Structures are given as structure tokens and as C-alpha cells.
A and B are shown apart, each in its own frame.
Chain A
Amino acid sequence: MTDSAPSLSPLIHLVDDDAAVREGLALLISTVGLRVQTWADPQSFMAGFERASVGAIVLDVRMPGISGLTVLEQLLAQGVDQPVILLTGHGTVEMCRRAFKTGAAEFLEKPVDDEVLIEALQNAVRQHVRSRERHQGDQQARERYAQLSAREREVLGLIVEGLTNKEIGRALELSPRTVETHRANLFAKLGAESLAQLIRRYAALVDAAS
């Protein structure tokens, strides 16, 4: 997990066995400023693509050797978090149902109109960026929470429950001044700027710890 990934523009992985389709779609996608990396077959894609990159994967369903649906299943099994858009030349209702059930972000029919494809890609990228950010936020919160002392955690727990300093002091048999000190310390350690932000970020962690 590198912090540098979000700073680069999102990368779209395009997997299709047909060179003309790859070229056409890659050019189209690049016109909206997204970077595209093309792969001629699922095997080399699975072996070589940058899993940390932010972006989305576009998969053709009908490819020699292995179906796009199978590739999707394998990606999910490996914990790949990029959203997957499936492209098919002859989609059936059953195939569509299976794709969404497996976890496809989008299921598009070939030939695909530029606006439809680009909108789907932008949605997928937004979704991925948000998911990565959320994931990173969670990670940061956990790290900061771990720095708190036992007493500070107790105080944080009671703050999240909505108690005032006085009430906390009574509950923990501390003077209100000491509570004030702990409170200031934990705000600093957790990097919280307001009570609302503190509660929004750490309530879940407190609940999980207690």
C-alpha cells in the first residue's frame, strides 16, 4: 500500500484478445485523460498487472482459453479490489445475472457507445478511489488509536458515549483537570480537530475495542 498511488492519474487495464478492439478502446479511453494498459490475453494480465494501481479493469467475456467471467472470479479470489467492467458481444440475461452475482461492477454489450463506456469507467474509478481512501483512513485511524495510553482510551470511550468532562471525572475518579489533560492529549494524538470529527472517525474503533 503506497501513498503515492492516488497522486498518479488512474490506470485502466484493458484485456481483449482482438488487437483492433484493444487499440480502438484504448484510444477512446485515453481521450478523457485516463491511462490505459492493454493486455492481449488474461494469463499475461493476471501475471503482470500492478495490483496497487488505482483504476479499473475492462475484461472481454469471450476470450480464447479462459472466459472473462472466470478471470473475474479469480481476481476476486486473489483479493484484487479494482472494479471490473465486463464487455460481451452477445450477452444473455443469464450471463449478465452471473456477472453481477460474481461481483462485476458493470456489464456492457459490444459495440459499446463512448459515453456509456466512459461513464462506466469514471464511476468505477471514483468508486475505487473512494474505497482506497476509506481503506487508508481506517488504517491511519487504527495506527493513531494504537498510540493512546490505556487511560486515554478509557476517556475516549466515555467521550464517544457523550459524557461531559465532569461526568468522566466522576466515572473514572479523576479530577476534571486531569480529564482535561487526557482529552487534550488524545485529540493531539488522534489528529482530531473537533469533537464531531473525533467521534466520526473513532467511534467504530472504540466499539470494536470494548
Chain B
Amino acid sequence: MLPAWRRLLPRHALHLPSLLLWVAVACIGCGWLVVDRLQQLHAAFETDARIVHRLLSQRVVQHDAIMATLALLQPAAAVDDLHNAASPLPRLTSVYPQILAVLQRSAHSDWPPALQAELTAAEATSRRTGHAAMAGLNLPAGRFYLVLAGTPASYALHIDLRATIPTDEWPMDMATSPVRVTLEQSGTAFVVQPGQADRGSGIRTYDFHKLLAAPSQPLDVVARRTVGLHELPWWRMLGWCLLTAALWAAGRALWRQRVARQRAEELLRLGQVARLNTLGELAAGMAHELNQPLTALLSSTQAAQRLLADDPPDLDTAQTAMTRAVEQARRASTVVGRLRRLVERPDLAGQAQPLALPTAVQDVLHLLEPELAQRGVVPEVLAAADLPPVLAEPVALQQIIHNLLMNALQALEQVPPAERQLRLSTERAESGRVTLSVRDHGPGIPPEARQHLFEPFYTTRTGGLGLGLTLCESLAQAMGAQLALAPEATPPSAAQRGAEFVLTLQAAPPTDDR
């Protein structure tokens, strides 16, 4: 016995192989979604990092250009008169917000004392390398000096990195972007964009390192991005799992349906075989049960015949033999009686009820739809208007119509598909009767077969039992109806060929409310 909970589930609902297949498909799909998302994120990160590198490089290259211009033009400006309106130097700070101050060291002066050492060293480096050099680098604050040695005067720019960043062209939202961007040199860093702090749940980290494209300002552009678990496409993964689960369930349902249908067909076939076997057994049993008394009967009477023919006739023995023969004849008749009671049908007349004949016809046609379609037969149904209900037992009526239609279909199989006509018509007949006619356009019934048609075990089909029409006739008679073969068209013609069976039913007596 199955436990109670197990019985609640339909059997084989959890079909293990297909379940595993679903799990595999779901996992592969989710894995692919994750990989795809990571690739997208990586590509976006790389793109952003390169844009950032290019933007920052463009800005710092500007510094070189400004310095080169200063060194070339040598604008005169006294150190103590830096804010002179006539000098271009002070105006630089208003045009370029990242330039906090411009310093000049003329041939005869010195750098401001506080910065003298660093600026002088940078000036020397610059004079040696031919390009500007950095001095007083304070990366955490984002400040440094850029010194270019010139003749006669050398210049220094005090630069604010914060203002150097082109926020309007920035590819990311600086406040919320998960990418951390820094400018680094020798262990110190200027945070351009804070990004999301590294979380413990990070599953993948992308890094980008590249020196700014300005030899004068060799700062390392560092971008780093950590992908958190929450960034995986959870909803899409869930969606994929649900979709495949739904497909799996649907597939299982279809499969089960198919199996169930096959099983039903198999059972039907088995049922037919079993019925034939039962019939065979019945026939064999009947043959034995009847043959025994008949054998005794025949041998006793024949023995008596011989005894009486003797000279002189042995009358006593002959009489004994005849007594036995009579007993055996009675025995045979008892067997037949027993058999009849065994297969006796209930009285159908008592169960007859008023019903609509056209509806019964439609029901059977519906049942036989596959058979009709298979043979390409489109039945023509003619129903007389205002047909009274008929008195019939519903199942018996259905069986009769079913058998007549099956006979017609089998007859139609013998003619080309184009000629397969089948006509059913219901009509009102005289004296309160209603007829149903089933007419096929098959080869018809040969004259010699017509008179035996309703006899049991008479068949024109090879392999037929010869009981179909017999059964129909007894069913019809049991409910007070008649089944007959319509007379042949005279003279017989090709257009008129085929067979027509007419079932004549009694109309139901009018009810009170009519």
C-alpha cells in the first residue's frame, strides 16, 4: 500500500529521468545567463575605463599645451604683481578652473621660498627631459605643481585634479557607479570616483591600469569594479526556470495523455480479442454439451434400428435403446434451454422511452466521426421536420444505428472514395410510426444473400461472425421496432446500387402537455 500522501500525487508525476533533464536544462540556462551578464558587465567596464583614461589624458595633455604656450610666449609678469590685469597669466585661472595659480621664475628671480626646493628640482628635471615635470605631488588632496623650464623665465602651474575631471563628459554616474576610479602614483591615490566599496559577496573583480597619455604627468589610471551577487540576473534566471518547468510539465502531461490513449486503444483491442475468445469458448462448450447427448441419441436410435432389422428382431433391447434416446433428446433440449437463459436479454420493451431520433443519429455519427473521416465519407442527413419522438431503449437504438453505419462503411470501402455516399433519412410513416433509413452507395447485396441476411452466423464478409444484423433485428424487435432491408430498385441500375436498411420505430404517444 502506498502511504496516504503518496496517493495524493498522481502516479509517476515525478518522472525521474525527465525531472533530471529539466534540472540540467534549467542549470545550463541559468549558467549561460550568468556568463552572459558577466561578459556584458566586463565589456561595459572596459569601455568606461578606456573612456575615462582618454578623457583624463586629454585634460592633462591640455596642461602641457598651456605650459608650452607660456614658455613660448614668455608673458611678462612680476612675481609680486601676479594679479596685474594686463598680464595674461592671472586670466588663465579663470579660463581653466583646474589651474589654481601660475608661478613664474624669471632669470633673475627665484621660486617662492616655500616651494623653492621642489620646484627647482622639477625645473631641473624638466630642463633635462624637455617636457614638464611634476612637483609637490599631493595625490590624496588632488594637488600638484607642473613645472616647465623655459628661457628666460620658467613657469609652474598649481593644478587641482578635482577640477580637471570632465564631469559633463563622464561616462558614469559618479555618485552611484560601482566602478572605483583612482589616479595613483607610488602608493598614493586620488579618488576620482569612489565606486562601491568591496563587498564580501563579490564574485568577480575587473581591473584596469593605464598610465595617463602625458609623459609629464605619469599618473596611473586605475579602475576597479567588483560584481556583487545581487547584480546577477536573478529574475531572468527564475523566469527561465519557471518557463522550462512549465514546458516540462506540459511535456509530461502530453506524454501521459499519449500513453493513456495508447493504453485505452490497447484495452479496446484486448477487449475485442477477449470477446472473440469468450465467444469461441462458448461455442466450444456449447458444441460439447450438445454433442454428448446427440452422440448418445444417435447411437441409441441407430442401434435400435439395427436390432429391429435383425431376424428375429430383438425388441426388448431395442426398446431400452429407444428409452435412452428419448432421455438424451430431453437432455439436449435442457442444454439449449440453459444456454438461452444464460444469454437472455432483459426485456427492452419495458425500458423504451420517448426520445428524439435525429439526436440519437447525431450521437452515433459523432461517435463514428473518426471512422467516417478515415474513409472520407461525408454522410448526408435528411431529417423530416416536425418528427415526433420515438419509443426506444436508448442504448439498443444506438447499437442498431452503430451497426448499420458500420456495415454501410464497410460496404463503401469496396468502392472508390469519390463514390462513397451515405445517406441517413428520418421520416414519418403511416400509423404513428417513424422510419430511419440508412442507405449506402456500396456494391449492394447480392440477391442470393438477401434472404439469409438476418440469419445468425450468415455473413458475406470473410472473417465476419454473421451476428451483427441478427443482433440488430432482435434488439429492434425487443423494443417493438422492425428492421428490414429495403427492396432493390427495379430495374437495378448503377446509379441506384447499394443497400438500404429501414428501421421502423413506434412514435411515442402524445403527452398531456401537447
A residues sitting closer than 8 Å to B (CB atoms) are 18, 20-21, 23-25, 27-28, 30-32, 62, 87, 89-90, 110-114, 117
Contact = CB atoms under 8 A, between A and B. Distances in A.
A110 B291 contact: yes
A27 B310 CA distance: 14
Most chain-A Cβ atoms within 10 A of its Cβ — which of B298, B306, B310, B317? B298
A24 B306 contact: no
Contact of A113 (B284, B290, B298, B317): B298
Contact of A18 (B296, B302, B303, B307): B296
A27 B288 contact: no
Contacts of A20: 292-293, 296, 324, 327-328, 331
A24 B291 contact: no
Contact of A112 (B288, B293, B295): B295
Interface in B284-320: 284, 287-288, 290-300, 302-303, 305-307, 310, 317
8 contacts: A20-B293, A20-B331, A21-B292, A24-B298, A90-B283, A110-B292, A111-B299, A112-B295
A5 to B, nearest CB: 27
B288 A24 contact: no
A42 to B, nearest CB: 17
B321 interface: yes
Contacts of B296: 18, 20-21, 23-25
B306 A114 contact: yes
B291 to A, nearest CB: 3
A186 B299 CA distance: 55
A24 B328 contact: yes
Given A20-B327, A25-B299, A89 B292 contact: yes
Contact of B302 (A62, A90, A110, A114): A114
Interface of B: 283-284, 287-288, 290-300, 302-303, 305-307, 310, 317, 321, 324-325, 327-328, 331
Nearest to A87: B295
B306 A31 contact: yes
Contact of B303 (A21, A27, A87): A27
B291 A90 contact: yes
Given A21-B295, A89-B287, A110-B295, A28 B328 contact: no
Given A31-B307, A89-B288, A90-B288, A24 B295 contact: yes
A19 to B, nearest CB: 9
Contact of B291 (A31, A111, A114): A111
Contacts of A89: 287-288, 290-292, 295
A102 to B, nearest CB: 21
Judged by DSSP, the binding face of B is: helix
Given A20-B328, A20-B331, A28 B288 contact: no
A111 B303 contact: no
Given A21-B292, A89-B292, A112 B298 contact: yes
Contacts of B305: 114
B490 to A, nearest CB: 44
Contacts of A114: 298-299, 302-303, 305-306
B65 to A, nearest CB: 114
A62 B286 CA distance: 13
A187 B253 CA distance: 98
A18 B302 CA distance: 18
A89 B291 CA distance: 6
Contacts of B287: 89-90
A111 B294 contact: yes
A27 B331 CA distance: 19
B299 A18 contact: no
Contacts of B310: 31
Nearest to B298: A111
Contacts of A23: 296, 300, 324
A16 to B, nearest CB: 9
Nearest to B285: A90
A111 B329 CA distance: 13
8 A-B pairs with least C-beta separation: A89-B291, A24-B299, A114-B302, A20-B296, A24-B296, A90-B287, A28-B303, A111-B295
A90 B295 CA distance: 12
Contacts of A27: 299-300, 303, 317, 321
Nearest to B292: A18
Nearest to B283: A90
Most chain-A Cβ atoms within 10 A of its Cβ — which of B291, B299, B303, B327? B299
Most chain-B Cβ atoms within 10 A of its Cβ — which of A18, A24, A27, A114? A24
Contacts of B293: 20
B313 to A, nearest CB: 12
B310 to A, nearest CB: 8
B319 to A, nearest CB: 12
A32 B328 CA distance: 23
Contacts of B325: 24
Contacts of A30: 303
A41 B305 CA distance: 29
Nearest to B325: A24
Given A21-B299, A117-B299, 11 more contacts: A18-B295, A20-B293, A20-B331, A21-B292, A24-B296, A27-B317, A31-B306, A111-B291, A111-B297, A111-B298, A114-B299
Contacts of A24: 295-300, 303, 321, 324-325, 328
